[in-house]
Structure 1
Amino acid sequence: MKMNIPQPTGLPAEPGMPARKKASFWKQVSRNRFLYMLLVPVAIYLLVFKYAPMFGEIIAFKNYRLADGIWNSPWVGFEQFEKLFASREFYVVLKNTLLLNLYHLLFAFPVPILLAILLNEVRVEWYKRTLQNLLYIPHFISWVVLGSIVIALLSPSTGFVNYLLKGFGLEPIYFMADKLWWPVSFIVSGIWKEAGFGTILYLAAMASIDPTLYEAARMDGASKLRQTWHVTLPGIRSTIAILLILQVGKMMDVGFEQVYALRNDAVTSVAEVISTFVYTRGLVNLQYSYTTALGLFQSLIALILVVSVNRIIKAMGERGLW
């Protein structure tokens, strides 16, 4: 008579287990091969334009010359970084970059949230769609065009804004040449261009909120403001947290197009940021190693910021990027 003796637990897995898991993995890949094929262009893009250029970061530790190439240029160690940190221009550029990003975080980041809340309360569907389309349009306009529009609107002689100021008996302001008003113009024009398009993610998050929560709040006598504070904002809190992490990760990078389109020599002391500094010093003046060192420093600080804020967000009970 055969007896079924139970096997003790904690024994190592059977020899065939990893092979079966591997076969199951490739079976899943084969079954969803068309979906995985959609990732191929993205993977190629990341490899060619994101990972392959990282090889060129070694010129930050060399005295790079075009004639010698990357391999034959002499090694100089941390000389480029020492020259960078000893430069007064570097600290001016760093200050401008951080200040503009801080202004964006304080004044521009909340605007898409507010717009999304307001749009979510619009009940007439055609009117809501029209508003959304009008808000999205500036996002698809190049900064070359939009920058010209901003400069024309703020012109002290023919601009519409100064025309209104004159109507109220005020002196015209040369917004684009004033060191106080240029950052304001920069932030406001950025809000005009991107705030409407930024509402998409928040509206999608609001659509997933259970409608019964609003009904319960109304039965408890909550006003619209209370419903927004106690239902809508908690419902989109995780989305706000993720976008906040991404925004903080860009604290060292204002971008190039907007600054280059709006800046001029009169406001260089407040408008020169890392991206434009890299362009003028690296591409125009051919100081490749110097600006590569700056770019490497910029990326390192951005990585530290993303990791730090991600940990803080997770410590507050929200889901981070990883």
Structure 2
Amino acid sequence: MDKLTLQKVHNLIKPYIHRTPVLTSQLLNTICEAEVFFKCENFQKMGAFKMRGAVHAILNLTDEQKRKGVVTHSSGNFAQALSLAAKSLEVTAYIVMPKNAPQVKKEAVKTYGGVIIECDSNINARESGAARIQKEKGATFIHPSNDDTVIYGQGTAAIELLEDYSDLDYIFTPVGGGGLLAGTILAANHFSNTCKVVAGEPKAVDDAYRSLISGNIEKNETSNTIADGLRTYLGDRNFPIIKKHVEKIIRVEEDEIINAMKLIWERMKIIIEPSSAVAFAAVLKDKKKIKNKRIGVIISGGNVDVSNLPF
């Protein structure tokens, strides 16, 4: 992967995505004792960065593959992203979703034209459901995070951030499946000489943190975190990138996630989901290390059930 290839990815998907704004807050700068630049992917089409990777993945299919449709398993944002991306490109999207996925996300998938197939709330049920659709419909499986075309697409958020602010010292992202983190690392490596990438992860599902220590892809025994978008684990396409290049992964407690989310809602007047707040929670936790630095934070999404807020 080189800079020219990443630039081509960005140019390819530009007609199908928003260039999202970068917002700042003097008050949050004071709290962090640093300059913080929030790349607001909560303003992306369908409300999250995942639109980028979904569009790029579908654009890379053959005409025959597009005709037969695409399938994924997702509890939320990638389900919406693939549905909307497919609709934009006149492709059918089959979405395998856990029965207990937030109703607001199921409704959004339907609105975007996705065909929902419900399954039990475990990874085996999700994977077997997607495999069945592949077999029955001939649809192409697109993984939410462990797919090269998806990873490259997700990296375009950081490309835009670095085009706007080329002298960042760090970019913080949340880490769940690892697609955003790996893509951000690739962008930082090719579009900056100095910018390092740090990830925030809920301590309750710290598989990525443990994977860095063991050198192998670890999984979680529980999924007990408010950051519902980060309950998945790394894959063999993104883990090597993360293992080699990530500066560190900072684990944050549930109350720290809620506090960070509340701060952004109150002070910036924007809606973000708990998974997005994990990156800012990591910034707050790392205050001593980032003092007087220029920090980018990727606000990954804003798809939250506003009738069920944690504060």
Same fold (TM over 0.5): no
Normalising by the smaller structure, the TM-score range is under 0.3
- TM-score where L is the length of structure 1: 0.22
Q: TM-score, normalised by structure 2?
A: 0.22
Relative to its length, the structure with more strand (as a share) is: 2
Greater CA radius of gyration, 1 or 2? 1
